[in-house]
Amino acid sequence: MRVRKSLVKTLFLPVILLLMSFGCATTQITKEPVTLLTDDQTKLASTYYPPRTPNAPGVILLPDTRCDRKHFGDFPSKLNEAGFGVLAMDFRYKELIARSRSISEQISTIQKQDLNALVDHDMRSAINFLSHQDGIDPERIGLVSTSLGSRVGLFSGVRYKIKALVLISLSGPEAFRGGKSIKQLLEEYGERPILFMTSEKDWGGNGKAAEDNKLYFNWAKGKKELKIWPGSGHGVDILKREEASKFVSSWLGQNL
């Protein structure tokens, strides 16, 4: 009997260790702190999640008015687990906005900044970084953008020929005040895939964003989709819903 017990332990111990190792390997997320240096010498704190397989699609996450990637929570990890290489980035005005004492002050402050710099410099740096990473297919890069980021994302989608766009909580007639209309930008974006996403009561608990997104959907060409979630929620708060984050991940998988 002692021999049999010893034999059983000897046979099953490697199996248990193998299962433990396999379980750890499948749940481990690798992320790397990255500092992007723009062509106007601005440093942007970012986090990079390398893909697990070669020739993977890449996704850049564009933050909201707070300009802070950390508000995406665990969404970058979820995308990475789904097979994407992910770059979560800060925008250059993060420290400036952090000094604001209220949401209204954040909005007032960001509106006084040069928002074109986010497209001309910040996004150029992010796209250049991601497209040159090992394991990333540079022809399969998409953007997931929220609130302010969705405005930057639409401009960048046109400027840099991005393969697929997710615009969350975009609203209003213009991307940037005094700049091109959203309708014009959507015409320039052309036939590439685009997903508009908002909630029934988005910004400020009203339904204007939902109505705006219905217009955007009608203006867009090619492969397009509109998702309006029930209830309230704005930007990254929508992505905190499990069904919403899974929806975005699935859509990206089909379109990148």
Contact between residue 153 and residue 62 where contact means Cβ atoms under 8 Å apart: yes
Tell which wins on pLDDT, 10 or 99.
99
Give me the torsion for CA of 104, 105, 108, 114, rounded to 10°. -130
Q: How confident is the model over 152-198, as pLDDT tens digits?
A: 999 999 999 999 999 999 999 998 887 899 999 999 999 999 999 99
Q: What are phi and psi of 184, to 5 degrees?
A: -65, -40
Strand partners for 227: 197
Q: Is the pLDDT of residue 4 over 60?
A: no
Ordered by where they begin, the domains of the chain are: 29-255 (3.40.50.1820)
Q: Give Cα 167 distance to the centre of its chain.
A: 9
Average pLDDT over residues 214-225: 96
Share above pLDDT 70 across residues of the chain, in percent, rounded to a whole number: 89
Return the structure tokens found at 6.
């010893």
Give the predicted TM-score (pTM) of the model: 0.88
Q: Is the pLDDT of residue 124 over 70?
A: yes
Strand partners for 194: 165, 224
Return the structure tokens found at 55.
């020739």
